[in-house]
Homo-oligomer: A and B are copies of this chain.
Amino acid sequence: MDIATLKDFATQQRAIRLIDTSRDVDDSLIEQILEVGTHAPSGGNRQIYRFIVIRDPEIKRQLAEIYDTLGAQRYGNPESRTTWAQMPVMIAACSIPGSGPPGAATSASRSATAASVMPAVQNMLLAITALGLGSVLTTLWKEEEATINKLLGLPEGAEIHAILPIGWPDRKYGRNHRKPISEVSFRDRWDNAW
């Protein structure tokens, strides 16, 4: 793929919080999303990520209860988001127990683990975009992490890094808009203008 095609595609990725709840999302599409996810890099190609694909209505209802409450506190306006209880499917992106390098609680270890899961998350979001589906990268539920880990049956030491609610967008969305790179880039040292 040439860089112009990639750049054009990258501008089409949007955070989709309102979905058409009348349409389901086939497993065949989920499998394509997961496959693109696995082709992202992970430390030592160890693939320490695990993906939990959630369709169970009772699990979705309990997740929604947590997320809707946190979302109302943080963002307000519940009409701007489809409740997770009505999401066709969600993917929780996790890491396996003991997946960091030696020193589980260190900053180095935490970064290494996130760096082995989040690239797969971004690849999955790109696949979701390519399929015409919508999603949004969420971490707010982390505030109730212990409850959610229990709900999804995570073993001790495993961690959820992102939850992606997935559905068909409620409408057509335009391109994303970002600051020019000069506003987020430095040369050689922090605060040296690009």
Inter-chain contact A114/B108, CB cutoff 8 Å:
no
Q: What residues on B are CB-neighbors of A36 within 8 Å?
A: 3, 6-7, 10
> Does the CB pair B39–A7 fall under 8 Å?
yes
**Which B residues lie within 8 Å of A6 (CB)?**
9, 36, 126-127, 130
Complex CA gap A28/B154 in Å reads: 45
Q: Mark A108-143, 1 if CB is under 8 A from B, else 0.
A: 101110110011011101110011000011011011
Residue A153 interfacial (CB < 8 Å):
yes
Q: Which residue of B lies closest to A161 (CB)?
A: B111
Most buried by B among A1, A111, A119, A194: A111
Query: Chain B's nearest CB lies how many Å from the CB of A114?
Result: 4
Please tell me if A86 contacts chain B, counting CB pairs below 8 Å.
no
- Residues on B with C-beta less than 8 A from A126 are 6
Say whether chain A's binding surface is mostly helix, strand, loop, or mixed: mixed
Residue of B5, B7, B111 touching A114 (CB-CB under 8 A) = B111
CA gap between A107 and B40 in the complex, in Å: 24
Instruction: Type the 1/0 row for A159-176, where 1 means its CB is closer than 8 Å to any CB of B.
Output: 001100000000000001
| Cβ-defined contact, A143 with B186, below 8 A | no
User: With the chains together, A108 CA to B194 CA distance in Å?
Assistant: 32
CB-based contact B108/A139 at 8 Å: yes
Task: Give A26-45 as 1s and 0s: 1 = Cβ < 8 Å from B's Cβ atoms.
Answer: 00000110111011110101
Given contacts A50-B190, A153-B191, contact A13 B41 (CB under 8 A): yes
State A1–B6 Cα separation when bound (angstroms): 8
A181 to B59, CA, bound (A): 22
B-side contacts of A111, CB under 8 Å: 114, 139, 142, 161-162
For residue A55, CB closer than 8 A to chain B, the reply is yes
List 5 extra interface pairs beyond A3-B32, A38-B181, CB under 8 A.
A1-B1, A1-B130, A94-B190, A119-B125, A152-B189
